[in-house]
Amino acid sequence: MSSEWPLWEVFIRGQHGLNHRHVGSLHAADAEMAIHNARDVYTRRNEGVSIWVVRSADITASSPSEKGPLFEPSNSKVYRHPTFFDIPDEVGHM
Amino acid sequence: MEAETTTEAAIDRAALFEFLLRMGDNTLMLGHRVSEWCGHAPALEEDIALANTALDLIGQTQLWLGLAGEVEDKGRSADDLAYLRDVYEFRNLLLTERPNGDFGKTLMRQFLFDAWHYLRLQTLLSSTDRRIAEIAEKASKEVSYHLERSRDLVIRLGDGTAESHARMQQALDDLWPYTGEMFMTEAADTALSAAGVAPEPQSLKAEWDELVAETLSEATLRKPTDGYMHGGGRRGMHSEHLGFVLAEMQFLQRAYPGATW
């Protein structure tokens, strides 16, 4: 129905220095209203220092039916994981 | 000399108590009205936003009425003042007890109040009473957002469809005669103003008019002219609506005195 508000995806940054993370979606007439609604719906418990919103329709997603060709080839390539290095003790936990 | 000073302090304290009741009763009554939308708003997002606003206002009520109880010094808590007073003891503006009407009318009432509330709190930031300045500082952050939101929605609905425009204009015309009470100044106000506690209500009028006029013009709404203005809330003369609000709000404490959970 065209009179429905479009859907927006909401990204919140929890603390300075961290990445914005997807927290959910909501309806709003435009970007400004989406920010207001995101503030009210997703930051009620002091979760955020920054909000991004983007129209859900503007997100291009990979197709589930292509997951074989897209992801399976990386299954058996252990050499892509950097697990073959000896880490000097002084580096500590990495 | 001693007796004179004591009397003067007592008068100030009575005026201060009344002032704090007015602040706290406004936020209590509007907070309750807005909370009536919980579960009924036209969209989930608006429902949560209104509940947030109601909770902010009720939180501010705890601070204002808590301080009122301290100033009165008769051992009454914020809860006692909220739940155990009768209609004629409430000091809220009549605007805040107006029924919600439709969503647009609720937002129009909110905007007219928020614009006043915001300006009122700004003036209290520099109150000579440190406790008042501290409450104002905490509340003004919340109220800045309330105003931003209600202003935005009044503009959207006023400058929206023919239907939403007509409803917003109707809401504005209905509520306008209740706006004058915000600026009515009485003798106690002059005393508080002279003491630097809170400027007279009248002093907020010009800025409020400007803020409201600018928003209404953007919302393509016609600002009514100031005609007869209802008053009396601060003397405990309320509309019939307040009794119904209190009946619901106070029921539990009246039926089961002292009940906690």
Comparing alpha-carbon positions, the chain B residue that sits nearest to A45 is B52
Mean pLDDT, chain B, rounded, equals: 94
Contact residues, chain A, for B156 at CB < 8 Å: 29, 33
Of B158, B138, B143, which Cα lies nearest the Cα of B214?
B158
Domain presence at residue A33: yes
Share of chain B above pLDDT 90, in %: 91
Neighbours of B117 (CB within 10 A): 26
| Range of A41-50, B66-75, B252-261 with top mean pLDDT | B66-75
Residue B56: closest CA among chain A residues belongs to which residue? A44
Q: Which residue has the higher pLDDT, B149 or B234?
A: B149
Nearest CA in chain B to A44: B52
Please tell me the predicted confidence (pLDDT) of residue B4: 47
- Give the lowest-confidence range in B3-17, B128-142, B177-191: B3-17
- Structural domain includes residue A55: yes
Q: Which residue of A has its CA nearest to B160?
A: A29
From A40's Cα to the closest Cα of chain B, the distance in A is 5
Chain B hits for A33, Cβ within 8 Å: 152, 156
- Note whether residue A40 is domain-resident: yes
Q: What is residue A80's predicted lDDT score, i.e. its pLDDT?
A: 84
* Number of folded domains that form chain B: 1
Contacts of residue A68, Cβ cutoff 8 Å, sequence gap at least 6? none
Q: How many domains does chain A have?
A: 1
pLDDT (0 to 100) of residue B169: 98
Which residues between 132 and 151 in chain B have a beta carbon less than 8 angstroms from any beta carbon of chain A?
Answer: 145, 148-149
**Mean local confidence (pLDDT), B65-83:** 97
**Predicted pLDDT of residue A1:** 44
Domain harbouring B79, CATH code:
1.20.1260.10
Question: pLDDT value at position B2?
Answer: 47
Task: Find the mean pLDDT for residues B36-64.
Answer: 96
Query: Residue B91's closest CA among B239, B249, B192, B232?
Result: B232
pTM: 0.89
Q: Which of B45, B52, B145 comes nearest A44 by C-beta? A: B52
Q: Residue B149: what residue type? A: R
Query: What residue numbers bound the domain in which B65 lies?
Result: 2-222+229-255
Residue B69 lies in a domain: yes
Q: What helix, strand, coil percent values describe chain B, rounded to 5?
A: 75, 0, 25
- Is A27 an interface residue toward B (CB < 8 Å)? yes
Q: What is the mean pLDDT of residues B192-204?
A: 94
CB B205 within 8 A of CB B257: no
| Per-position pLDDT tens, chain A of length 94 | 457 899 999 999 988 788 999 999 999 999 999 999 999 999 988 888 999 999 999 999 999 888 888 888 888 888 888 888 888 888 887 6
Residue B186 has pLDDT above 50, yes or no: yes
C-alpha distances in Å from residue B247, one per residue of B23, B81, B85, B235 = 21, 15, 11, 20
- The residue range of the domain holding A16 is 7-61
User: Helix (H, G, I), strand (E, B), or coil: what is residue B42?
Assistant: coil
CATH number at residue A48: 3.10.20.520
B261 belongs to a structural domain: no
A84 belongs to a structural domain = no
Q: What is the DSSP string of chain A?
A: -TTSPPEEEEEEE-STTSPEEEEEEEE-SSHHHHHHHHHHHH-TTS--SEEEEEEGGG-----GGGHHHHHGGGTT-GGGSS-SSPPPGGG---
Judged by a CB distance cut-off of 8 A, whether residue B48 touches chain A is yes
Q: Is A88 within the bounds of a domain?
A: no
pLDDT exceeds 80 at position B88? yes
Classify residue A92: in a domain, yes or no: no
Mean pLDDT of the region B230-250:
95
- Please count the other Cβ atoms lying within 10 Å of the Cβ belonging to residue B214: 11
